[in-house]
Amino acid sequence: MMKNAALCIHGHFYQPPRHDPITGEIPKEPGAEPYHNWNERIHAECYEPNARLGNFQRISFNIGPTLFAWMETYDPATVRAIIEQDRANVAQFGVGNAIAQAYNHTILPLAAYMDKVTQVRWGIAEFEHRFGRKPEGMWLPETAVDTETLCVLADHGITFTILAPWQAQDPHLDTGRAYRVPLPHGRSINVFFYHPSLSSTISFDPTATANADEFFATRLRPLLEQPMPDGEPRLVLLASDGELYGHHQPFRDYFLQYLLTTTAPCNGVDVTFPARWLREHPARAIMHIRDNTSWSCHHGVLRWSGMCPCTPDGGAWKEAFRDAMNRIGAMLDGVYVEHVQPYISNVWELRHRYIEVILGHRSAEDLIWEMAGKRLDAEITQAIALLLKSQHARQQMFTSCGWFFEDFDRIEPKNNVAYATQAVWFAQQATHRTLAPTAAARLRAVQSRRTGLRGDTIFWQYWAQWQHLAAAYAFAHRG
C-alpha cells in the first residue's frame, strides 16, 4: 500500500475548428465515416463514452472552448454530464478538476500583450459560462509559455498551469511536486510539470495501456514508490491529448476507468487533481521557466513561426504566413482603434468584454452603449459592432493549427486565411476603406511547396464568397 503517493492524469481535449468560416457549418469530411465529420466521430469514440463512464470526474481536464460550443449543440446531455462530474468534485473537495483554456488555441508567446489578455479573459469567461465557477487553472495551447503569459494568468486569478519538464530552467527537476514560479512585481504562479517518459508512453505505445493492472505494476508503481527527498507525498502527473482515451487508442476509455476506480485505489494510491493537490500540499519549491517553449516542439515555438526541424522540408512557408498574419492583424488593429476610440476610450476593454456577446449574454449594441457611457446613433453603433466582429475573426486567424502541420495546402491554414478574409471584410464594411488588396498582398508570399497554392489565391476565393453573400442579401432585401 502506498499512502504517500498520488496519481493525476490530465486530458487536453481539443479539436481544430472545422466549421466553414463562411457558412458556419462543418462540411462532410473524408475518413470520418460512418459519421459526417471528425467531430462527430471523435465524440462517439471519446467524449461521450468517457462522460458516460464517469472519467471526467476522476481526471484533470480542459476542453477547448470552440469544441465545447460545438458539443453543446450536438450533444447537450454529454455536456451536462461533464459539468456535473466537475461539480461533484467541487461538492466533495471545495475545488473542481476542470480547468480553463486560452480561447482560440493561440500560441500565446507569439501573441501581442493585448491578444494574450483577450485570449485569457475569453477563456475564463467561457469557463465560467459552462461550469458556473471561476477556474483555478488554465491550459496554455501547446503548453506554449513565456513569462508575460504567466503574468497575464496571475493577473486574472489563475493559480496554476501544467507544463512539460523541458520547459523548466532546471533540466533535472523532480516532477513529483508542484512548483512556485516567481514573476515580476512580487507575483507568482504555481506550475505542475508532467512526467515526461510515462506521458509519452501512454500517448504513443498502445501496448503499455492494454491492461491497467499491468500498467500500474510495471510503469506506475516504480515511480510512485520513489520517496521525495523531503518526505512529502509524491505526485505522478501524466498529461496527454484527451482524445487518446477511446479515439486514438480504442478501449482506453475503459482502461482509464479501471485504472482510476480500481487499480490505483486498491493499491492505496490517491487519485487527485491539481487544484485539490495545491490545497493539501501548497507549492514551496521554486522553479523558473524557459521562455518561448512548448510541449510539442523541442525547438521552442519555432513550429508555429518558421522553418523548424519538427516539419522538415516543408516549414519555410510558416515564417511568411506568420509575418503576413501579424501584418494583417496590425492593420486591423489600427483601423479598429482609429474608428472606435472617438466614441469609446478603452477600445481593448471593449474587445475583452466582447466575449459577453459571443456567449449570448447580451447584444453588441448594449455592450457598446455601456462602454460609450451613452446611446450612440445607429450608424456608429453598427460600424463598431462590425469592427468587433472583425476583431473576433482576427483572433480566430491565429489558431495554432494553421501552422502545426507540414504544408500550407491543408484545411487548417486555409481556415486561418478564411478568418483573415472575414476580419478584413467586416472592417471594410464598417469603415468603407479598401483594405482587401493590402491583406491579399501580404499573403502572396505564402505558398505551398507541394502544390504551389498561394495565400492570396485563397484570400480572393473567400472574398468572392463574401461578395456573393452580400449581393444575395441585398437582392433579398431590395426595396
Task: Give me the pLDDT at residue 473, please.
Answer: 63
By the 8 A CB rule, do 76 and 52 touch?
no
Rounded to two decimals, the pTM is: 0.97
23 pLDDT band, cuts 50/70/90, is confident
Task: Give me the pLDDT at residue 20, please.
Answer: 87
Task: Give me the pLDDT at residue 1, please.
Answer: 55
pLDDT of residue 168 exceeding 70? yes
pLDDT of residue 478 exceeding 90? no
Q: How far apart are CA 191 and CA 230, in angstroms?
A: 19
Task: Give me the pLDDT at residue 313, please.
Answer: 72
310 pLDDT band, cuts 50/70/90, is confident
3-state SS, residue 128: helix
454 pLDDT band, cuts 50/70/90, is very high
Q: Is residue 18 within a helix (H) or strand (E), and if so which, with residue range?
A: none
Task: Give me the pLDDT at residue 134, please.
Answer: 98
Dump pLDDT digits (tens) for 85-111.
999 999 999 999 999 999 999 999 999
Task: Give me the pLDDT at residue 230, please.
Answer: 85
Percent of the chain residues past pLDDT 90, beyond the cut? 91
Q: What average pLDDT is seen over the chain?
A: 96
CATH class name, domain 5-280? alpha beta
Average pLDDT over residues 133-161: 99
Delimit the CATH 3.20.110.20 region(s) of the chain.
Answer: 5-280
Dump pLDDT digits (tens) for 364-417.
999 999 999 999 999 999 999 999 999 999 999 999 999 999 999 999 999 999
> Residues near 247 by Cβ (< 8 Å), separated by ≥ 6?
41, 42, 45, 46
Dump pLDDT digits (tens) for 402-428.
999 999 999 999 999 999 999 999 999
C-alpha cell, 98: 476542470
Q: Which of 174, 165, 162, 252 is nearest to 215 (CA)?
A: 252
Dump pLDDT digits (tens) for 199-248.
999 999 999 999 999 999 999 999 999 999 888 999 999 999 999 999 99
171 pLDDT band, cuts 50/70/90, is confident
Average pLDDT over residues 138-154: 99
What is the separation of C-alpha 156 from the centre of its chain, rounded to a whole number of angstroms?
Answer: 17
472 pLDDT band, cuts 50/70/90, is confident
For 333-381, give the DSSP string: HHHHHHHHTTT-S-HHHHHHHTHHHHTTSS-HHHHHHHHHTSPPPHHHH
pLDDT of residue 63 exceeding 90? yes
Q: How far apart are CA 273 and CA 270, in angstroms?
A: 10
Dump pLDDT digits (tens) for 276-294.
999 999 999 999 999 999 9
Q: How far apart are CA 264 and CA 217, in angstroms?
A: 10
User: Please, what is the angle between helix 436-443 and helix 455-476, to 10°?
Assistant: 150
By the 8 A CB rule, do 135 and 120 touch?
no
Average pLDDT over residues 425-445: 98
pLDDT of residue 459 exceeding 90? yes
CA-derived radius of gyration, the chain: 23
Q: Is residue 54 within a helix (H) or strand (E), and if so which, with residue range?
A: none
pLDDT of residue 361 exceeding 70? yes
3-state SS, residue 174: coil
